[in-house]
């Protein structure tokens, strides 16, 4: 895990280095780590990096009981278009 | 259990508590902020980041926003952490002749109040974005409007406050408090021990009524829910913030000519390009208690409203949705005020959909109030707590 240039969040291009540095300096929750770095906030909705971001938080803050519940899922689980979202049920 | 002392205790680490902490600490006061969660874990990370005068009632309300805009511009230069500040202006678009007429009077009144507003015609709208529906008649523009990232702004203010010596206690809930009638000091109970404070500022957002109730206060704030869609920008749709004129009607609870669902959910189009490659689409307004779950029927309605104004956005991708709770007051103005019946107790809450816009001015004003200054940056009467004294039943 010491190759810090490794990209953890591909959508927003956030590296392990960014995540570790931020987690260490703010000792924050996963949610705050996500907001501060944008990891998990891109196209895929964090499907790829969520578990990694959670584990970085735990490692860096040395906390076995996370402050926050693990990162949540925000609907829609998979990206969809405005036209599909806007469809009336009875149409 | 420990006991600690502080001159000023700010309850609430949202954008309002952050701005008060920054300006009080900078002025040399000894200040502690306490939050039951993390910094910005309440409404201040579940919102948009607009610093707007365009949607404020002309006069006191819009001038207060203008003053706040000036402060945010200064903050963007004096704070260390970047918060994605930009000042591109904003526009409102009209879909009917009636709205155009109402827009004209809005512009006239704002100009009289000294703000930089102007009307836009059909052509101006076309220039603004090729994605707009063809039938839009025009709109209006406010030149000074700006935008920021709300949680980065909150983090940045806290970073600045701690540099001036502010202390921050997180994941620590205020569970009760009392005021010693002899010394006048506040005894505040938390799971981590007791805090003794000379002055207390209730900056609890939608939770301000619970905190006020600990000392028998009845603070008329209610959660007004709003939904937001985050979409990915395949192509640049527009450079600045856009709202439909009907947003004003929805905000101030006036009548609109829209379909039943749009009216019921208080849906009005708001488009906001962000600094990342995304854009945000809002908005909705509902009184449904403290429920922050996303309601897909509302999101559905917002998506339809989006397509009405931007037909070509239909194929754009929605990445996620979220919702937050605005701290609503009956007259749509915040409470930034001392409480006469409890000396040294202050309230800074109830900013509804304007807390990001008004955080800076609130922080500045609260610092002046805490120091008993007579000449304040803005008049204080319209936002005093005592204005609600004789309102026995508050209607939503
Ligand atoms: C969908 C949506 C869009 C919006 N868009 C905009 C916009 O574009 N521009 C704008 O200006 N405004 C906007 N707003 C409004 C803005 O978000 C709010 O007015 C603002 O965030 C309120 O900040 P606050 O600090 O008062 O509340 P909060 O951020 O909720 O902070 C209150 C804090 O108090 C803490 N707390 C509560 N009780 C206790 C206790 N007992 N002990 C310790 N801590 C406690 C909470 O944990 C919380 O962190 C929007 C709101 C929504 C919902």
CA distance A37 to chain B (A): 10
Q: Please check whether residue B81 touches A, CB under 8 A.
A: no
pLDDT score for B383 = 98
Phi, psi of B294 (to 5 degrees): -70, 130
Residues of B in contact with A88 (CB under 8 A): 300, 304
Q: How many CB pairs under 8 A join A and B?
A: 77
- Residue contact B317–A38, C-beta within 8 A: no
Query: Is any ligand 1 atom within 6 A of the Cβ of residue B47?
Result: yes
Q: What average pLDDT score do residues B301-312 get?
A: 96
pLDDT at A56 over 80: yes
Report how far ligand 1's centroid is from the alpha carbon of A29 (Å).
Answer: 18
Q: Is residue A38 part of a domain?
A: yes
Pocket test for ligand 1, best of B11, B13, B14, B173 (most atoms within 8 A of CB): B14
- The residue of chain A with its CA nearest to that of B294 is A75
Instruction: Determine the pLDDT at residue B254.
Output: 76
pLDDT in tens, B9-60: 999 999 999 999 999 999 999 999 999 999 999 999 999 999 999 999 898 9
How high is the mean pLDDT of chain B? 94
Q: Ligand 1 in contact with B173 (CB < 6 A)? A: yes
Tell whether A82 is covered by a domain.
yes
Name every chain A residue with its beta carbon within 8 A of the beta carbon of B262. Answer: none
Alpha helices in chain B (DSSP H): 15-26, 60-78, 97-112, 122-128, 150-163, 208-213, 246-251, 260-264, 296-309, 355-370
Cα B125 to ligand 1 centre (Å):
33
What is the pLDDT at residue A60? 85
SS3 B199: strand
pLDDT value at position A4?
73
Q: Identify the band that residue B193 occupies on the pLDDT scale cut at 50, 70 and 90.
A: very high
Instruction: Tell me the pLDDT band of B396, cut-offs 50, 70 and 90.
Output: very low
Q: What is the pLDDT of residue B388?
A: 94
The residue ranking higher by pLDDT, A71 or A24, is A24
A79–B276 C-beta distance less than 8 A: no
List the single range of A5-14, A63-72, B162-171, B240-249 with lowest mean pLDDT.
A63-72
3-state SS, residue B86: strand
Domain assignment present for residue A13? The answer is yes
Question: How far, in Å, is the centroid of ligand 1 from the Cα of B216?
Answer: 23
The residue nearest atom 22 of ligand 1, judged by CA position, is B355
Average pLDDT score over residue span B352-375? 97
Predicted pLDDT at B248: 86
Q: What is the Å distance from ligand 1's center to B187 Cα?
A: 25
* Chain-chain contact of A86 with B152 (C-beta, under 8 angstroms): no
Does residue A65 carry a pLDDT above 60?
A: no
Mutating to test ligand 1, I would choose from B10, B38, B266, B355 the residue with most ligand atoms within 8 A of its C-beta, which is: B355
Number of domains in chain A: 1
For residue B253, is pLDDT > 50?
yes
Q: What is the pLDDT of residue B51?
A: 95
**Whole-number pLDDT of residue A5:** 84
Which of A55-64, B71-80, B238-247 is the least confident region? Answer: A55-64
Give domain status of residue A59, yes or no. yes
pLDDT of B2 higher than 80: no
Residue nearest to atom 53 of ligand 1 (CA): B324
Q: B315–A83: do the CB atoms touch at under 8 Å?
A: yes
**Is residue A1's pLDDT more than 60?**
no
- Predicted confidence band of residue B330 (pLDDT cuts 50, 70, 90): very high
What is the span of the domain harbouring residue A69?
7-86
Whether A45 is in a domain gets the answer: yes
pLDDT at A73: 75
Domains of chain B (ranges plus CATH)? 3-46+151-220+331-388 (3.50.50.60), 90-143+222-328 (3.30.9.10)
pLDDT at res. B89: 95
Around Cβ A22, how many Cβ atoms within 10 Å? 21
Long-range Cβ contacts of A80-83 (<8 Å, 24+ apart): A80/B317, A80/B318, A81/B314, A81/B315, A81/B316, A81/B317, A81/B318, A82/B231, A82/B303, A82/B306, A82/B307, A82/B313, A82/B314, A82/B315, A82/B316, A82/B318, A83/B303, A83/B307, A83/B314, A83/B315
* pTM to 2 decimal places: 0.94
Nearest CA to ligand 1 atom 21: B44
Let me know: does B197 contact B7? Beta carbons within 8 Å: yes
Residue B215 has pLDDT above 70, yes or no: yes
Is A32–B39 a contact, with Cβ atoms under 8 angstroms apart? Answer: yes
B277 band by pLDDT with thresholds 50, 70 and 90: confident
Confirm whether A78 is domain-assigned: yes
Q: B163 is written with which tokens?
A: 């540099």
Answer yes or no: is pLDDT of B1 > 50.
no
Is residue A91 situated within a structural domain? no
CA distance linking residue B36 with residue B17, whole number of Å: 13
Q: What is the pLDDT of residue B268?
A: 94
Q: Which of B276, B304, B318 lies at the smallest CB-CB distance from A81?
A: B318
Q: Is residue A29 part of a domain?
A: yes
A86 and B320: CB-CB below 8 Å? no
What pLDDT was estimated at residue A69? 58
| Average pLDDT of the residues in B86-115 | 93
Residue B197 has pLDDT above 80, yes or no: yes
Contacts of A77 in chain B (CB under 8 A): none
């Amino acid at each position: 895990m010491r190759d810090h240039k490794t990209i953890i969040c591909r959508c927003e291009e956030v590296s392990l280095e960014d995540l570790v540095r931020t987690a260490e300096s703010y000792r924050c929750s996963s949610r705050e780590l996500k907001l501060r770095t944008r990891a998990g906030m891109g196209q895929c909705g964090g499907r790829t990096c969520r578990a990694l971001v959670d584990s970085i938080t735990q490692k860096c803050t040395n906390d076995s009981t996370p402050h926050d519940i693990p990162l949540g899922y925000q609907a829609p689980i998979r990206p969809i278009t405005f036209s599909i979202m806007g469809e009336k049920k009875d149409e | 259990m420990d006991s600690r002392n502080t001159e000023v205790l700010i309850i609430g680490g949202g954008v309002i508590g952050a701005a008060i902490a920054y300006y009080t600490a900078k002025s040399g006061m000894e200040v502690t902020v306490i939050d039951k969660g993390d910094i910005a874990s309440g409404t201040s990370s579940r919102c948009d980041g607009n610093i707007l005068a365009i949607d404020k009632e002309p006069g006191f309300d819009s001038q207060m926003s203008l003053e706040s805009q000036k402060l945010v511009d200064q903050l963007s230069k004096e704070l260390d952490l970047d918060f994605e500040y930009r000042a591109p202006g904003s526009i409102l678009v009209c879909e009917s002749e009636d709205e155009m007429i109402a827009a004209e009077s809005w512009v006239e009144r704002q100009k009289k109040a000294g703000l930089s507003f102007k009307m836009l015609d059909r052509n101006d709208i076309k220039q603004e974005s090729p994605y707009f529906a063809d039938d839009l008649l025009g709109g209006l523009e406010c030149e000074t409007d700006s935008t920021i990232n709300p949680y980065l702004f909150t983090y940045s203010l806290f970073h600045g406050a701690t540099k001036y010596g502010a202390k921050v206690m997180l994941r620590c809930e205020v569970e009760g408090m009392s005021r010693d009638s002899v010394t006048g000091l506040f005894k505040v109970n938390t799971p981590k021990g007791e805090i003794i404070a000379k002055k207390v500022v209730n900056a609890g957002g939608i939770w301000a009524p619970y905190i006020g109730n600990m000392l028998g206060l009845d603070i008329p704030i209610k959660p007004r829910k709003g939904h937001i869609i985050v979409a990915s920008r395949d192509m640049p749709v527009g450079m600045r913030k856009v709202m439909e004129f009907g947003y004003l009607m929805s905000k101030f609870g006036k009548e609109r000519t829209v379909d039943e669902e749009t009216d019921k959910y208080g849906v009005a189009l708001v488009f906001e390009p962000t600094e990342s490659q995304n854009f945000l689409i809002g908005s909705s307004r509902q009184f449904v208690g403290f429920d922050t779950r996303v309601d897909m029927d509302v999101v559905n309605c917002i998506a339809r409203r989006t397509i009405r104004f931007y037909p070509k956005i239909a194929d754009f991708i929605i990445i996620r949705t979220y919702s937050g709770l605005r701290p609503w007051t009956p007259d749509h103005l915040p409470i930034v005020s001392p409480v006469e019946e409890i000396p040294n107790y202050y309230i800074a809450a109830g900013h509804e959909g304007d807390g990001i816009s008004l955080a800076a001015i609130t922080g500045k004003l609260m610092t002046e109030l805490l120091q008993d200054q007579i000449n304040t940056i803005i008049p204080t009467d319209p936002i005093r707590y005592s204005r609600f004294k004789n309102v026995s039943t508050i209607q939503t």
